[in-house]
Amino acid sequence: MTIKTLALSLLAAGGLSLATAAAQAAEFNLTYSTTYSPTHPYGQADEQWIARIHEQTDGRVNITPFWGGALINSREGIDELNAGVADIAYIAPIYASSGYDLNRLTPQFFYGYEDALEVLQVYMQLWDEYPQFAEELEGAQVLGYNVGTPMHLMLRNRPFNQISDLQGLRIRSAVDFIGALTAAGAEGVTMPMTDTYPSLQRGVLDGVIAPYEALRSLSFAEVINYYSELPHSRGAYPSRAMNAQAWARLPEDIQQVFLDNVQWLTETTYLLSQESEEAGRAYGEAQGVQFNTVDEDVIAEYSSAFEPAARQTAERLDAAGLPGTEILEKVRAEHAN
């Protein structure tokens, strides 16, 4: 063994020993599972939050993170959390395959919103007003919320300026956006984001609906030429939670530390995500991508195509005994103000 190898081994062992000692010294040792890595903006926020909780509880709470979906996946995150797979998890009920109807379906009511912070503000008002949102999570204690920054339209051959520009195009899209694309004469295509780059490269796709950060993180700046700022809102959702049993084991003063940090975690996640968005746009500019704004009247005309599907969803929620239409009307009224 070389001196360098020995030194690295000692450093690694020392770091592990320190982490183990910290866990042993803590009064409450909790596990946290997320599908993201510590380099992703969400993971960066998590790391800061974990350190903050440890500090503000005077070392009484130690949280051990498990990155990259090692314990829980986002689609079934809330189910697995409630089953006790981890004490805390990144949950994202909007991606659940079923259930959690208000949390999963109401984000589509935010069509046409251009400001993510406005989406978050309206959503938090709804969360406070309608206890059904929390009741759907079956006792899990929410510790933070996420809001998706709006996605826009990336195109290979020409920018988008008017609805007719979409005629005949094949656009990679989330399911929620396909109805509006169809109404405009385009074909919405669902496929994994990992398959989107080669499809754009070969001309199988004419464009993709994605955020600024995808220009860099998914290298879309290499295969598209135009970024048209036609907003596709992604809504907001509870993103981190602790299962009911783990929460009940904590004394009130420790619970209060977590509650006092809900807003901090929510805002920090947004700010770090926004930094990633800005970096993605800067990367696109450096790669020669041309950006253009879209006229507000055109945005309004495009957004109106989302209304029929939103109404149908609201009626489904009504039929299930949930305040779907009432929530839809409030979301749309706030957007009109």
Per-residue DSSP letter, 251: -
**Global pTM?**
0.85
Residue 126 has pLDDT above 90, yes or no: yes
Per-residue pLDDT of 8-43, as tens digits, reads: 343 334 444 444 445 557 899 999 999 899 999 999
Using DSSP, state whether 151 is helix, strand or coil. strand
Structure confidence at residue 315 as a pLDDT band (50, 70, 90): very high
Question: Which CATH number describes the domain made up of 26-148+234-277?
Answer: 3.40.190.170
Q: Report the 10 Å Cβ neighbour count for 311.
A: 14
Per-residue pLDDT of 183-222, as tens digits, reads: 999 999 988 877 999 999 999 999 999 999 999 999 999 9
pLDDT score at 4: 34
CATH architecture, domain defined by 151-233+289-306: 3-Layer(aba) Sandwich (3.40)
**Residue showing tokens 């500019």:** 285
Residue 97 has pLDDT above 80, yes or no: no
Residue 105 has pLDDT above 50, yes or no: yes
Domain spans of the chain? 26-148+234-277, 151-233+289-306
